[in-house]
A and B are shown apart, each in its own frame.
Chain A
């Protein structure tokens, strides 16, 4: 559904783990872009309020629709974080409780 509108600057790729699936993605893109561009069923979280599927909307840190668990830490804004080699990403299914 989503395609890059220009080729990556240096052509380098990193490998990330998205819910157990290894994805080869361009360096210097955000986790949100990686999830939308490479993973099937492109959503990043389930709403805490009504369990609806949510996906990145604003891509600039405002809407909080892209919250994901990244390297074990929940509530990360996937649109503000660049992919790194070996990064482990999970969809956030509802919000974490206060007792983590």
Chain B
């Protein structure tokens, strides 16, 4: 791409993953001139290692605003994806309406039952209903169909709204429509310094200088360093840590599972994805045999007939985890019009990132749904 030297935009979005792409697409829809600066990273980007769940049932167990935010996002996904597919002509393989988390043994069943009860109580205290429910072994078997369920499966939590999609095609579709509508996507553009003149932020990048009155940090773990560029002597604190997830991919087999079971889903082309772990290993994304064994073992306990299916790939990626697990959507204190956005659930939440964040970024009032997800909560 040609030099972006001294190019002026209305908004510069730093980071072209699910977060940056969804927000950038919403911004061009509002008529803004938008540049997305997406750097080449030597670590596995979170958006390239995603499992593809569109998921609400296990979110916000102790935080009702996050539970609602996730449910509303899942409910908005069908319409968002429909228009995305029409405009991009890419089928992102969305399936909504069934999502399950299998429980192995009595202890897991009891714990999951308590979680679902807590979600129901929290909803009931507001005169509402939470869509998730518990299923027993027989009900799980009826829903999965022909493939025999392992005896170790004692039940499952079930959501009638959750589902999955092909995460790479989803990302491709958002980027394609963004560019089709006039957005500039700068591949391999690394922001090296941020300064301010009278009206604009001036970004020094590997592809020249970019000026914009508004900047959006949507760079996952990179947000920490980007925020520090605003004030190197007194860097704003962005509490994000990496959390490693590993997953396995099997050879292609005949379709046997038509909906995601949390860490187990079969893609349209027949592979089974088996995940995923939650590990604190810093920025190390290597895969380990012990984890592969544990993941495979769990999958076989759910569907014993999978024991004949071979694993062909495994990979590790890094989630963008905030210190309390909830999203961050905020303007950085002392730096008006510099926004920071971060969450580990960027596929699930993309529909609302697309619709609700852009008007706020362009100067409208901050939506009340996202007010709990500020930076101030980390400073109490």
Chain A residues within 8 Å of B, Cβ to Cβ = 48-49, 64, 67, 75, 94-100
Contact check, A98 vs B254: say whether CB atoms are below 8 A apart: yes
User: A98 contacts which chain B residues (CB < 8 A)?
Assistant: 147, 253-254, 256, 303, 305-306, 308-309
Q: What are 15 of the A-B contact pairs (CB < 8 Å)?
A: A48-B252, A48-B269, A64-B252, A67-B252, A94-B254, A95-B252, A95-B253, A95-B254, A95-B270, A96-B253, A96-B254, A97-B253, A98-B256, A98-B305, A100-B308
Q: Known contacts A98-B308, A99-B308: does B268 contact A75 (CB below 8 Å)?
A: no
Chain A, Cβ-Cβ closest to B310: A75
A91 CB, min distance to chain B CBs, angstroms: 15
Closest to B272 in A: A98
List 9 A-B pairs, minimum CB-CB distance, nearest first: A75-B251, A97-B254, A99-B305, A98-B305, A95-B252, A48-B270, A100-B308, A95-B270, A98-B253
Q: Give the interface SS of chain B, mostly helix, strand, loop or mixed.
A: loop
| Assembly CA distance A75 to B147 (angstroms) | 20
**CA gap between A64 and B303 in the complex, in Å:** 25
Minimum distance in angstroms from A92 CB to a CB of chain B: 9
Interface centre among A96, A99, A100 (most CB of B within 10 A): A99
- In the complex, A2 Cα to B87 Cα: how many Å? 40
Assess whether B269 is in contact with A49, with CB atoms less than 8 Å apart. Answer: yes
* Contacts between the two chains (Cβ within 8 Å), count: 36
* Chain A residues, CB < 8 A from B255: 48
Interface residues on chain B, size class: 10 to 19
How many Å lie between the Cα of A67 and that of B310 in the bound state?
14
Of A67, A75, A98, A99, chain B has the most CB atoms within 10 Å of the CB of: A98
Distance A64 CA – B250 CA, assembled complex (angstroms)? 12
Q: What does DSSP make chain A's interface, helix, strand, loop or mixed?
A: loop
| Residues in A neighbouring B251, C-beta threshold 8 A | 75, 95
User: When chains A and B are docked, how far (Å) is the Cα of A48 from the Cα of B305?
Assistant: 19
Write the chain A residue with the least CB distance to B256.
Answer: A98
* Shortest distance between the CB of A1 and any CB in chain B (Å): 27
Complex Cα distance, B251 from A49, in Å, reads: 14
Tell me, in angstroms, the Cα distance from A95 to B308 when the chains sit together: 13
The chain B residue with its CB closest to the CB of A45 is: B252
Tell me the complex Cα distance, A62–B331, Å. 44
Does A75 lie within 8 Å of B256, measured CB to CB?
A: no
B270 proximity list for chain A (CB < 8 A): 48-49, 95
- Assembled-state Cα–Cα distance A75/B305 (Å): 17
Nearest A residue to B148 by beta-carbon distance?
Answer: A99
A97 CA to B303 CA, complexed, in Å: 13
Query: Nearest-CB distance from B374 to chain A (Å)?
Result: 45
Which of B268, B270, B306, B310 gathers most chain A CB within 10 Å? B270
- A40, B278: Cα distance in complex, Å: 50
Known: A48-B269, A48-B270, A49-B269. A75 touches B252 (CB 8 A): yes
Chain A residues positioned under 8 Å from B303 (CB to CB): 98
Residues of B within 8 A of A49 (CB): 268-270
